[in-house]
Chains A and B, each alone.
Chain A
Amino acid sequence: MQLRSSRVGLAATIATSFATFFSSGPARSDDQVRAAVTYFAEPAPNTSLNVVHPQVTYQQDFGEHFGLGVGYDADVVSGATPQVFGVDAVTAATKFNDVRHNGTLGLRFLTEYATLRVGGGFAGESDYRSGTANAGVTVDLFERNSQLAVDYTHNFDRVCDANNGVAQELLELRPLDSSDTCFDGGSDLTTTRKLAIDSMQLSWTQVTTPWLVLQFGATGSVLRGFQANPYRQVLLGERAVQERLPGGRNRLALYARTKFAIKPIRGAIELDVRGYLDSWSMRALTTELAWDQYIARPIVIRVRARWHVQDSALFYRDGNEYAASGPVGSFWTGDRELSALFNSTYGVKASYLIRAKEKQFLRFIDSFVISAKADMLLYRSLTKNPEFSPNADRTKGLIDAVVVQAQAGFDF
């Protein structure tokens, strides 16, 4: 249940993931199997959050013109969260556990200068179901020095919500107490709300010199439907009311990226910049800097830093302001992602590639790859009263959160 906002936010990145999954590396030598486990921890005395995220993918081309990809991932989530935004988080925290499963299937059709991708997926958890359909094309242009990619994704999402049919006014909206009767047509306690998401990404990659590659593009998405966390309540005056967000949201992200090769030392620098705005008056700017370096031929070390700053949504208020003065208009939220904040990430990753020299391993494997990475995430609230911002209890340590990932796989 606590991944509610993640489900919505992630949808805008699905087009990217889809393109990533099916277009990395040379077209006719990327038959591969990969498996990874990611552990995310956001420690706090009373409202900690832990997520284990296993992933498996299989990708293979059959003949010259056809490729297949299958993927599975899951989120195993546990932790505690404040029941009401605006009330002391320590005393009001409630524990939760949930598991989300996600499966994807993709096909690709190859020609000499273009790749067409189609696919889809389904994700389910106790209170949220999501179906996706994707289509995209990548075309090589100008002696293969330019690459144009266009990807479109549509989400058919269904969200479990409390049945508030008897509420006479907005201040009577009650939260969802439990997912036990979700998607059960015979229950009067819950109802199903819809969310439709259309996302499109346009990307241009340009080989500029033998040592410089550029990429720039845009991602736009339109969300229509229920986007709030049905469990979350906000204290308005003396009354705790279910979170309420607008039904529509239009989002736009513009980005530019560059890869700069440092051939003499077999290294590469990447610099990414992204600007973002949406119809909820949110603006954000994200910058990332990464360095990949061969230590020895089979070992690559990467270090990276990422900085993200954003403004708050038009209707966001700190908890004490909602409690003292009420909302702005008819929307209210306790979502940290909608508050003004500054996030930074610092990480290191090591990869080890073992290639078969004369004979293939087990007669069909060309290479093995293993990698491990660790990121530390820092958070700083930029609101007027950070002690009354969402999840303030999780942000009192030196390091706000950590991400650790281990991965293994082989190419064949």
Chain B
Amino acid sequence: MHSHSHSEQGPLVPALVRLAMATCLGVLAMASGCARAVLPSEKAFLADPIMQFNADGLEAAADAQVMSNREGAAGGSGTAGGGCGCN
């Protein structure tokens, strides 16, 4: 029988964890410092396809297909849409 100390991850995990934490902190800082009600007249560029999450549904689905066959994690890829306020 073996213990569960089975991976040799070296510095990769700490580096990615630091990157993730820095990202989250940066996003929160930007959000808290700049948040205000955005007017419809200010959303022109937000409605552009390049500002939409998962704008290409077929590509997102094909990516999910590939990654699910190579990684043990799943989910958390977000939903489509963005800032145009045009649900």
Interface residues of A (CB under 8 A from B): 3, 5-6, 9-13, 15-17, 19-21, 23-27, 34, 36, 38, 40, 53, 55, 57, 73, 75, 113-115, 138-140, 142-145, 147, 149, 151, 199, 201, 203, 205-215, 217-221, 251-259, 261, 263, 267-268, 270-276, 278, 281-282, 284-287, 292, 294, 300, 302, 307-314, 316-317, 321, 325, 328, 336-338, 340-343, 349, 371, 373, 377, 379, 382-384, 401, 403, 405, 407
Contacts and interface: CB of A to CB of B under 8 A. Distances in A.
A312 B59 contact: no
Interface residues on B, range: 35 or more
A278 B21 CA distance: 21
Interface in B40-84: 40, 42-43, 45-62, 64-84
Contacts of A272: 78
A205 B46 contact: no
Contacts of B16: 285, 287, 307, 309
Question: For A17, A138, A203, which residue has the most chain B Cβ atoms within 10 angstroms?
Answer: A17
Interface in B18-33: 19-20, 23-24, 27, 30-31
A17 B64 contact: yes
Contact of A311 (B9, B58, B85): B9
Contacts of A11: 74
Interface of B: 1-2, 4, 6-10, 12-13, 16-17, 19-20, 23-24, 27, 30-31, 34-38, 40, 42-43, 45-62, 64-87
Nearest to A149: B79
B7 A340 contact: yes
B72 to A, nearest CB: 4
A23 B85 CA distance: 12
A383 B8 contact: yes
B87 A23 contact: yes
A328 B5 CA distance: 13
A149 B70 CA distance: 28
26 contacts: A9-B69, A17-B64, A24-B54, A36-B62, A55-B58, A113-B87, A114-B87, A149-B79, A205-B79, A207-B46, A207-B85, A212-B31, A213-B51, A213-B83, A221-B75, A255-B77, A259-B82, A261-B46, A286-B76, A302-B50, A314-B4, A317-B6, A343-B70, A349-B59, A371-B56, A371-B59
A96 B49 CA distance: 40
Contacts of B9: 309, 311, 340, 342, 382
Given A12-B75, A317-B6, A337 B80 contact: no
A218 to B, nearest CB: 7
Contact of A261 (B7, B17, B45): B45
Question: For A5, A26, A212, A255, which residue has the most chain B Cβ atoms within 10 angstroms?
Answer: A212
A83 B23 CA distance: 43
Given A21-B57, A274-B73, A286-B73, A16 B78 contact: yes
Nearest to A14: B64
Given A23-B87, A208-B30, A274 B7 contact: no
A6 B71 CA distance: 9
A212 B16 CA distance: 23
Contacts of A300: 49-50
B69 A382 contact: no
A338 B62 contact: no
Given A215-B53, A308-B73, 9 more contacts: A12-B68, A12-B75, A40-B66, A213-B83, A261-B51, A268-B50, A325-B1, A342-B12, A384-B6
A206 to B, nearest CB: 7
A142 B37 contact: yes
B12 A338 contact: no
A285 B52 contact: no
Contacts of A208: 30-31, 34-35, 38
B7 to A, nearest CB: 3
Contacts of B34: 208-209, 212
- The 8 A-B residue pairs whose C-beta atoms are closest, nearest first, are A253-B76, A144-B85, A219-B75, A340-B7, A9-B68, A12-B74, A276-B73, A292-B50
A412 to B, nearest CB: 17
B79 A73 contact: no
A144 B50 contact: no
Nearest to B5: A384
A151 B78 CA distance: 11
A151 B81 CA distance: 14
A332 to B, nearest CB: 12
